Amino acid sequence: MEDVRARVLAANRAIVDAGLVTLTFGNASGVDRSAGVMAIKPSGVPYEQLDESAIVFVELASGDVVDGTLRPSSDAPTHLVLYRRFPDVGGVVHTHSPYATAWAQAGRELPCLGTTHADHFRGPVPVTRSLSVTEIDGAYEEATGDVIAEALEERGATPLDLPAALVRGHGPFTWGAGVEDAVENAIALEAVAALAFRTFAIEAEVAELDAALHERHFTRKHGPGRYYGQS
């Protein structure tokens, strides 16, 4: 658990350093499945005040705080849904990064226009449906997790092949096998969201990337025969 605490603290600092966070608009979490707990940033605490003692541990099954004196992020129920629905996920990041959030507010999925996108996401990044009034008035944050999972399942995508979603009217969530991967995917998502915005500004009728090229770029980094990087 101490290792998870340190990694989650480092992840929260990393999303700030990457320019993905304004004020306290964001959070990162990591999971220790052997202990049945999630570690997450506390709610509303400025990032410069974070240290390892501030990280809150929440039981995966119940959502109860099991270690820490502060209240966990208000988005904790969303993170918990993703961990419960997707056993391969080991880290989750939520930000309000400018370009990815703009796509979410526009209610538009993020199409794959080039190989930068294809290197990280196997398909367009989905945008969720709108939450109903009942969902908003009820367990809102949990319902947010449900619509993310729903959007992913509708694509038939595995969570590590398509490790991001845009919550309509809200902002981006990313995840990965570990919290470090979730951070990397948050950085990549913001980069490709910015590139797509600029591409459409130059050419409004641009076509999505050829499917074969998209698949080649994704699999050379993530497939069983991947050859990008060092062994």
Considering the candidates 32, 119, 146, 210, report the single residue annotated as catalytic.
119
150-158 long-range contacts, CB within 8 A, separation 24+: 151/126, 151/127, 152/126, 154/126, 155/123, 155/126, 157/122, 157/123, 158/88
Residue from 18, 12, 69, 2 nearest 40 by CA: 12
Is 17 one of the annotated active-site residues of the chain? no
Helix axis angle, 179-202 relative to 2-17, nearest 10°?
A: 20
Assign 227 to helix, strand or coil: coil
CA 4 from chain center: how many Å?
Answer: 18
Burial 77-105 (b: 16+ CB within 10 A, else e): bbbbbbbebbeebbbbbbbbbebbbebbe
Helix (H) or strand (E) holding 218: helix 211-222
First to last CA, the chain: 29
Is 140 one of the annotated active-site residues of the chain? no
**Cα–Cα distance for residue pair 147/154, rounded to 1 Å:** 10
Considering the candidates 17, 137, 210, 228, report the single residue annotated as catalytic.
228
Catalytically active residues are 119, 228
